[in-house]
Homo-oligomer: A and B are copies of this chain.
């Protein structure tokens, strides 16, 4: 494992301050001295990325696909070393990390397939109509092209799938944009291993030097320098509202403001409708798994349960409490996350308006930084009296809001901020009656779920992982799935252009056989 900053194909020789990774379950330092990048290295990485962009944007899409596939294969080839290091750095269990690795390589394969299929460029062609009156129509052909160097901030809670070779990097590289990753300081070793895999794949496929770089820093200096660098054209981030908004503001204050796609989490409300509660309270209570899996450290963890008081709800509460009580404590990702969880969930529990439905006491005393599951309850009127209850508590915590009636429940929904997800647990026959609720949820969230947990985000064409502010900084884009490539591309229109010089995607005879809107008809 090379612990130095990687700038294109070369590990930087600059030596300065170093830092070590921490095993959150023991508090012990892990091996490896990671070099905190200097401002010079941030500059080098972006200048090289910009240089690489000139060539990389024109690489054949099949070559780019082969590069992405190789990156996936190289990540798989890291074998247990990667899983073990990630376990040590994050406290996440092996099975979860193996699953996450499969998701990571799956995303790379998915984008490779997208490139090979080719229709993602959204080619639209309006051919000339020389005899149109009063004016002739010129020949116009439009497609998406990559925008430029992307800075990707690795996420703490997805050390593989939303970190160095995660969804953001895969989509940006697929689009033709070079990537400079700011590694998350909580898992620098995992990051270094994955970075080496990408480097190897890029070299194998002769990608331009600078198509990928990675920099380390256990502070904020380098992240800030990357966002402010004039060659940076887009920034992606997954993390807290505070962190995301800091980047959004920074990017907006540049001489050239640039887009930041920040996925900042949410509380993912779940509405439990009366009939469902009456018919299958115990089954619905299984949602405790979604609240507590991996210490609840998901941006789609359901942090809010909404229901009208009823006998069914009492049964649900009992079963939910019993479920929560069975959950073992789990190591949280970092001492900071654990501390923040303890603080926020503690504050909630201490409020007079809040009662504790259940709290697990199954503390693992062998490890530290443990998160213990807890579910609380509040009346709708108390919830409505203080907006803090609508804010995220990251970790194995959820709050049940009990309304007097459906009108009050709707009132609570009306106060919620933008969400990544919103769910409804319902019997199909009662749903039409609550149209106004489901409409409100769809207006609030990026994904609306019926009778299922919000966690477990499918990766594909139809997924949307995004949502109105503050869930993300721009609800018009998703950060998961094939459509996430749209964050990194812009349209260019060729007018009256020479056929031979048009990109293949826009040539009249469609040599790539991609789907195109050709004179207002979709054809292939």
Contact = CB atoms under 8 A, between A and B. Distances in A.
Interface residues of A, number: 76
B490 A476 contact: yes
A464 interface: yes
Contacts of A142: 461-464, 483
A515 interface: yes
B501 A462 contact: no
A522 interface: yes
A54 to B, nearest CB: 8
B522 A448 contact: no
Interface in A424-440: 428, 431-432, 435, 438-439
Interface string A441-458: 011011111111000101
B259 A476 contact: yes
Nearest to A258: B469
Interface string A261-289: 00000000000000000000000000000
Contact of A493 (B147, B463, B490, B498): B463
Given A257-B473, A259-B474, A493-B447, A462 B498 contact: no
A520 interface: yes
A486 interface: yes
A450 B490 contact: no
A448 B493 contact: yes
B446 A464 contact: no
A317 interface: no
A462 B140 contact: yes
Interface string A480-491: 000100110111
Given A249-B252, A515-B522, 9 more contacts: A252-B253, A256-B470, A257-B473, A442-B492, A446-B493, A447-B495, A449-B496, A451-B496, A458-B495
26 contacts: A57-B443, A99-B134, A119-B522, A126-B461, A126-B462, A140-B463, A142-B462, A142-B463, A142-B483, A249-B253, A252-B252, A252-B257, A259-B474, A428-B498, A431-B498, A442-B494, A447-B494, A448-B492, A448-B495, A458-B495, A462-B493, A464-B491, A464-B493, A476-B487, A478-B491, A522-B524
Interface of A: 57-58, 99, 119, 124-126, 134-135, 137-138, 140-142, 145, 147, 248-249, 252-253, 256-259, 428, 431-432, 435, 438-439, 442-443, 445-452, 456, 458, 460-464, 466, 468-470, 473-476, 478, 483, 486-487, 489-498, 500-501, 515, 517, 520, 522, 524
